[in-house]
């Protein structure tokens, strides 16, 4: 499976924001669940060149936001199309994102944050080489939630120079 990455278009952002709805506890990840997050996501100027659509066979299957936090670190946020979650394709999806980030930004470290209740995603991230580094409280979706900070160290021999 080969994923393709391109800057997220306005149409793709609106599709994700208004039609991707997750089931049960995962509805936490619906863009419409937090109006501030929604406004930021659908504003092309705020997204800039840092949010990428992920497609497979021309179908939108996910997105990743990328932020270079310092000279050595790239922080990512990601989402997978709801009907693709929970079926064993997460590891390949996350691996393709890691490969894209490594090839594009050459970081020494990739970081991400995940809601602590999302054990399914945490397992995938750990299987992809991420380790837990800390936790923090974050106000979002009308309450305050615990998030786990994770990171993946990239060995120098894997860096593109």
Global confidence as pTM: 0.92
pLDDT value, residue 141:
85
Residue 119 sits in a domain whose CATH number is 3.40.630.30
Name the E strands within the chain. Answer: 4-7, 51-56, 59-68, 73-80, 109-115, 131-140, 143-153
Residues 85 and 121: their CA atoms lie apart, in Å, by 9
Domain count, the chain: 1
CB 52 within 8 A of CB 6: yes
The pair of three-digit structure tokens given for residue 119, joined into one six-digit string: 């054990």
The pair of three-digit structure tokens given for residue 97, joined into one six-digit string: 């994102």
Q: pLDDT of the chain along its 161 residues, tens only?
A: 589 999 999 999 999 999 999 999 999 999 999 898 999 999 999 999 999 999 999 999 999 999 999 989 999 999 999 999 999 999 999 999 999 999 999 999 999 999 999 999 999 999 999 999 999 999 888 889 999 999 999 976 544 44
Residues 154 and 161: their CA atoms lie apart, in Å, by 13
Strand partners, 109: 73, 153
> Which of 83, 77, 72 has its CA nearest to residue 155?
72
> Which of 112, 15, 18, 111 has its CA nearest to residue 54?
15
What range does the domain containing 118 cover?
A: 4-158
pLDDT value, residue 50:
95
């Amino acid at each position: 499976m080969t994923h393709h990455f391109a800057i997220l278009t306005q149409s793709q952002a609106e599709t994700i924001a208004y039609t991707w709805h997750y089931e049960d506890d995962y509805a936490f990840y619906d863009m419409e669940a937090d109006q501030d997050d929604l406004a930021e996501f659908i504003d092309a100027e705020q997204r800039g060149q840092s949010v990428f659509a992920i497609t497979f066979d021309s179908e939108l299957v996910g997105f990743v936001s990328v932020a270079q936090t310092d000279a050595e670190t790239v922080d990512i946020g990601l989402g997978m199309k709801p009907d693709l979650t929970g079926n064993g394709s997460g590891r390949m999806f996350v691996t393709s994102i890691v490969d894209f980030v490594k090839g594009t930004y050459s970081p020494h470290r990739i970081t991400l944050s995940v809601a602590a209740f999302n054990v399914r995603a945490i397992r995938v991230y750990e299987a992809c080489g991420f380790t837990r580094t800390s936790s923090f409280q974050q106000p979002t979706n009308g309450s305050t939630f615990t998030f786990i900070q994770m990171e993946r160290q990239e060995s120098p021999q894997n860096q593109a120079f």
